[in-house]
Amino acid sequence: MHVDAATPNFLVQEICSGVVPEMKEKVWHEWLGFPAMRMVNGRFPLPEKPGLGFELTEAALKKYPFGGTRPMARVFHDDGSVAEW
């Protein structure tokens, strides 16, 4: 957010939350110690903490152990190039 605010030609910031808080955003508070950022009067307030603005702890990460990954479904051409996502 600080980089956005300091960039004169900044236009759009992608966010990972909706207008109304959802259960999936609970992880922000549990892992990072603060709720997901919310707009105030059409703008995001700048974080006041140094660095990235949070401290990630091992205790917080232990609540959600890594369960592996699944490859994204993709269709490939015979030469190995990606045909669709």
> For 32, left (φ over 0), alpha (ψ -120 to 50), or beta?
alpha
The per-residue pLDDT for 7 is 92
Mean pLDDT to the nearest integer, 25-53: 75
Q: Which of the pair, 6 or 32, is modelled with greater confidence?
A: 6
Query: CB of 82 within 8 A of CB of 76?
Result: yes
In this predicted structure, the answer to whether residue 62 has a pLDDT above a threshold of 80 is yes
Query: At 32, phi and psi to the nearest 5?
Result: -105, -10
Mean pLDDT, rounded, for 52-58: 75
Q: What is the mean pLDDT of the chain?
A: 79
Q: What is the pLDDT, as a whole number, of residue 9?
A: 94
Percent of the chain whose predicted confidence (pLDDT) is above 90: 4
Paired with 82 in beta bridges are 76
Please answer whether residues 17 and 44 qualify as being in contact, where contact means their C-beta atoms are separated by less than 8 angstroms: no
Q: Angle at the Cα of 65 (from 60 to 66), degrees rounded to 5?
A: 125
The pTM for the full model equals 0.45
